[in-house]
């Protein structure tokens, strides 16, 4: 029931929410795409660049992210210390071993828009290598973001009933041998 007196009432529309995202067995690029949407505030119909409507995102299990392909060996993260001879190139594996949150942090940082709001949005991102979260952050959490990738189950994670119930195309005869 809209009316002129009720037009200014906002309830908690401009409140900042805290979201949780589990990065276990997820590709860091898709994780970053989901978090960047929330950090910018583009998941809200009241979005505007000047509105400061971004939310907080807490990412857990960053140690267990999963690159597809051979990226653990082939992806290279480069940096320069500023001094001569200070060009450093590190593979994703080496960087991940040195700091388990660095890959997700760099991915999110590079996906955010390259403006002055980027640093503020990075301050609203909270990364944890395992699923241990401090109490005060845990109390703020509102909702969990669904995982971008459906994690497949290994054969030994299926129960025998599910394996038996799965339809078979053909059953080999008892004396069958692959050539």
Partner 1 sequence: MVVLSAARWIRSRLTDRFWRKQEVLKYARHFRGRKNRCYKLAVRSVRRAFVKSTKARAEKKKFLRALWITRIGAASLEHGLKYPVFISNLVKSQVELNRKVLADLAIYEPKTFKSLAALAQRRRQEGFLAALGDGKEPEGIFSRIVRHHY
Q: Which is nearer to partner 1, 22 or 40 (CB)?
A: 40
Residue 73 or 144 having the CB closest to partner 1: 144
Residue 127, beta-bridge partner list: 59
Which part of the chain contacts partner 1 (CB under 8 A), choosing from 15-23, 40-48, 99-107, 136-144? 40-48
Nearer to partner 1 by C-beta: 46 or 97? Answer: 46
Rounded to a whole number of angstroms, the minimum distance from the CB of residue 42 to partner 1 is 6
Binder among 47, 52, 79, 110 for partner 1 (CB under 8 A): 47
Contact 136/25 with Cβ under 8 angstroms?
A: no
Q: Are 84 and 126 in contact (CB under 8 A)?
A: no
Interaction with partner 1 in 101-130: which residues (CB under 8 A)? Answer: none
- The answer to whether 92 touches 53, Cβ cutoff 8 Å, is no
177 binds partner 1 (CB under 8 A): no
Query: Of these, 3, 8, 12, 48, which contacts partner 1 (CB under 8 A)?
Result: 48
Q: How many angstroms from the chain centroid is the CA of residue 97?
A: 19
Residue with tokens 């828009």: 113
Task: Give min distance, CB of 174 to partner 1, in A.
Answer: 42
Question: Are the beta carbons of 31 and 59 closer than 8 angstroms?
Answer: yes
Interaction of residue 42 with partner 1, rule CB under 8 A:
yes
Q: Binding partner 1 by CB under 8 A: which of 3, 9, 11, 45? A: 45
Q: How far apart are CA 103 and CA 81, in angstroms?
A: 19
First-to-last alpha carbon distance for the chain, in angstroms, is 75
Q: Which residues bind partner 1 (CB under 8 A)?
A: 2, 42-48
């Amino acid at each position: 029931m809209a009316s002129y007196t009720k037009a200014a009432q906002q309830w908690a529309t401009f409140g900042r929410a805290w979201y949780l995202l589990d990065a276990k067995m997820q590709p860091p690029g898709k994780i970053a795409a989901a978090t960047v949407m929330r950090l910018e505030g583009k998941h809200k119909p009241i979005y505007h660049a000047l509105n400061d409507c971004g939310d907080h995102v807490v990412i857990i299990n960053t140690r267990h992210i999963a690159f597809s392909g051979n990226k653990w060996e082939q992806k290279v993260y480069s940096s320069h210390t500023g001094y001569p001879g200070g060009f450093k190139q590190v593979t994703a594996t080496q960087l991940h071993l040195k700091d388990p949150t660095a890959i997700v942090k760099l991915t999110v940082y590079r996906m955010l828009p390259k403006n002055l709001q980027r640093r503020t949005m990075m301050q609203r991102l909270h990364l944890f290598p395992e699923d241990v979260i401090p109490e005060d952050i845990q109390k703020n959490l509102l909702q969990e973001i669904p995982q971008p990738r459906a994690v497949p189950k290994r054969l030994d994670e299926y129960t025998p009933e599910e394996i038996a119930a799965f339809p078979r195309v053909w059953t080999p005869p008892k004396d069958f041998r692959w050539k």
